[in-house]
Amino acid sequence: MENREITIEELEIGDEILTLTQQGKYLKLLETPRLSKVKGWGGRDKYIAVKCKVNVISVAKQSTKYDYKTKTSVPYTYFDKDYNIKAPEENSPIEKFDLNWKKIWLVKRERI
């Protein structure tokens, strides 16, 4: 059954989901979430971050940061990521995402 809210325990490999957070993401799961050995706040179960394909545009930006050893500003490159709410393609990058305590919407379930 698709197009419904789902819990992290119900996720399977190949599921396409939306995370309903401040910056929504459309993810395709490449591994099933496993319980972490470390418990969360109040002894609640916590899951490891899972590998997902994601549709993202990364832009390298230049800046400076302060180096406390030399007491000067040094050049620094960081990546500004803009996540698209579109299905990831075959050549989309793979990133790890923490899905603990997030609202998750199942879009499509692909049986493997």
Cα 33 from Cα 13, distance rounded (Å): 9
One pLDDT digit (tens) per residue for the chain, 112 residues: 678 899 999 999 999 999 988 888 999 999 999 999 988 888 888 999 999 999 999 999 999 999 999 999 999 999 999 999 999 999 999 999 999 989 999 999 876 5
Place of tokens 């401040």: 22
Q: Say whether pTM exceeds 0.85.
A: no
Half-sphere exposure of 95 (CA within 13 A, CB side): 16
73, β-bridge pairs: 66
Cα 37 to Cα 9, 20, 50, 97, 99, distances in angstroms: 16, 26, 15, 17, 16
Residue spans of the domains in the chain: they are 4-108
Place of tokens 């395709």: 28
